[in-house]
A and B are shown apart, each in its own frame.
Chain A
Amino acid sequence: MNNVITTNIVRFIVLVLAQTLVLNNINFLGYINPYIYILFVILFPIKNNRMLFIFLSFLLGLCIDLFLDSGGVHAAACVTIAYIRPLILKFSFGMIYEHQTIKFSSTEFGQRLTYFAIITFIHHLLLFSLEIFNTSKILLILKKSLFSGIFTILLCLLITVLFSQKRK
């Protein structure tokens, strides 16, 4: 149990620093940045205290906002995906989730991709709509969410593959 807490604390700090110091300076094609800090929300243990989980996600978003001067957009997006995560889990993993025994490294690739993609696109849509906050620029919002979303999903999958614990 202690191990899980330490892992998540380290993950929190590393993701915030990586996001703000490295990934936000990529600006691929001028505006595409991956937002991989949502890996914290994606990979948070499934057996959890939901209140704590939602609060931690809020804190994560607020930390990112603090560094990026974006008001509260990241916090809002993070809290939302944390709140609706059980729904998405049930949708993408089906029955296995009910038994609360899944490990992300042992699930099928297709299911994992659906799960990552749904969370990422909901997060990005909310993030960019709040950031741009202008209905006349809805195309810009969709364009940004789509391209940044693809970038984020790719990076998230790569990172989870690279850092997954080796099983015997």
Chain B
Amino acid sequence: MQQIINFLIRNKTFLLFLLLFCVSLFFTFQSHSYHKSKFINSANFLSGGVYESVNGIGQYFNLREENQQLLEENNRLKSLLFNEEDTFNGLSTLDSTFTNRFDLTPAQVSKNSYSATNNYLTINKGERDSIRQDFGVITSNGIVGIIDNTSNKYARVLSILNTNSRVNAQLKNTNHFGTLKWDGVSPKVIQLTDIQGLAKVTIGDTVTTSGNSTIFPKNILVGEVISFKLNETEDVYNINVKLFNDMTNIGHVYVIKNRDAKEISILNNPDE
């Protein structure tokens, strides 16, 4: 017993080092799996607050571009509205349960990163604005990511520029769907995998979300195909997709809530 205690006292520095190193490794491995990094994330009171107050200053530098983007979006929505009578014949308003499936909440990005391999964003809306885990986040140009952690006032977004992120997407004109992943190389290009080899892919094709998951509605823009090749067994395509969104410069975002998410997930997993 004496010897054990002596050993502990003699090696106390090394043991402390080992302990702290293991703790940090534990945090690291936890952050590699989705939904598990509960303790160390920037959606807390301290870092969220610091980021928001600093972002309050930084926001002014991008005002011109932000205005331009909002103007373009307004323009697009207005043209949809004015042309609606011709194209839809008012049909879209008939089914009110369908049109109200998704709620949108505007939010401001207070921290963005794109140079690491696992990137996250922090936005200034949280649980008190009824934002929860697994809500989708988009801008007017395309998808950004999925909410992965929330605090009272802030939420953390798992960016699509994260090697752990998986989003369901499809080719717009063929309806073949696959999975969006990121290989960690360029913040402008992500990879669309698992598209059936039967599908006709051409460079310049638009990729959109598929609506198969409960997170994103159908037809949210993702990007366009810049190159593609069949995998070794020649049954699925690996496609490089250039994002429409400039992930390095994101200001305003929208958080999407799917009202039917619970119902759909219960239907798919009746055991839970």
Determine whether the beta carbon of A54 is less than 8 Å from that of B156.
Answer: no
Determine whether the beta carbon of B17 is less than 8 Å from that of A83.
Answer: yes
Min CB distance, B18 to chain A, in Å?
Answer: 9
Partner of A66, one of B17, B40, B187: B40
Determine whether the beta carbon of A73 is less than 8 Å from that of B24.
Answer: yes
Determine whether the beta carbon of A72 is less than 8 Å from that of B12.
Answer: no
Determine whether the beta carbon of B17 is less than 8 Å from that of A54.
Answer: yes
Min CB distance, B55 to chain A, in Å?
Answer: 10
- In Å, the complex CA distance between A62 and B20 comes to 10
Chain A interface category by residue count: 35 or more
Residues 23-67 of A contacting B (Cβ, < 8 Å): 24, 27, 30-31, 33, 50-51, 54-55, 58, 61-62, 65-67
Partner of A131, one of B44, B114, B118: B118
Q: Assuming A72-B31, A133-B32, is B115 touching A54 (CB within 8 A)?
A: no
Determine whether the beta carbon of B16 is less than 8 Å from that of A72.
Answer: no
Chain B interface category by residue count: 35 or more
- In Å, the complex CA distance between A132 and B164 comes to 11
Min CB distance, B60 to chain A, in Å?
Answer: 15
Question: Of all chain A residues, which has the CB nearest B30?
Answer: A71
- In Å, the complex CA distance between A72 and B24 comes to 4
Q: Assuming A21-B54, A54-B16, is B24 touching A69 (CB within 8 A)?
A: no
Partner of A67, one of B17, B28, B37, B42: B42
Determine whether the beta carbon of A131 is less than 8 Å from that of B116.
Answer: yes
Partner of A72, one of B28, B118, B120: B28
Instruction: State whether the Cβ of B217 lies closer than 8 Å to any Cβ in chain A.
Output: no
Determine whether the beta carbon of A58 is less than 8 Å from that of B24.
Answer: yes
Min CB distance, B201 to chain A, in Å?
Answer: 26
Contacts of A158 in B (CB 8 A): none
Instruction: State whether the Cβ of A70 lies closer than 8 Å to any Cβ in chain B.
Output: yes
Instruction: State whether the Cβ of A15 lies closer than 8 Å to any Cβ in chain B.
Output: no
Instruction: State whether the Cβ of B47 lies closer than 8 Å to any Cβ in chain A.
Output: yes
- In Å, the complex CA distance between A51 and B14 comes to 9
Partner of A76, one of B16, B28, B248: B28
Instruction: State whether the Cβ of A157 lies closer than 8 Å to any Cβ in chain B.
Output: no
Determine whether the beta carbon of B16 is less than 8 Å from that of A68.
Answer: no
Instruction: State whether the Cβ of B267 lies closer than 8 Å to any Cβ in chain A.
Output: no
Provide 14 A-B residue pairs closer than 8 Å at the C-beta atoms, listed in order of the A residue: A24-B113, A51-B13, A61-B24, A62-B27, A65-B40, A69-B113, A70-B116, A73-B24, A75-B24, A76-B21, A76-B28, A82-B17, A131-B118, A133-B28
Write the residues of chain A forming the contact surface with B, with a CB cutoff of 8 angstroms.
Answer: 17, 20-21, 24, 27, 30-31, 33, 50-51, 54-55, 58, 61-62, 65-73, 75-76, 79-80, 82-83, 130-133, 137, 140
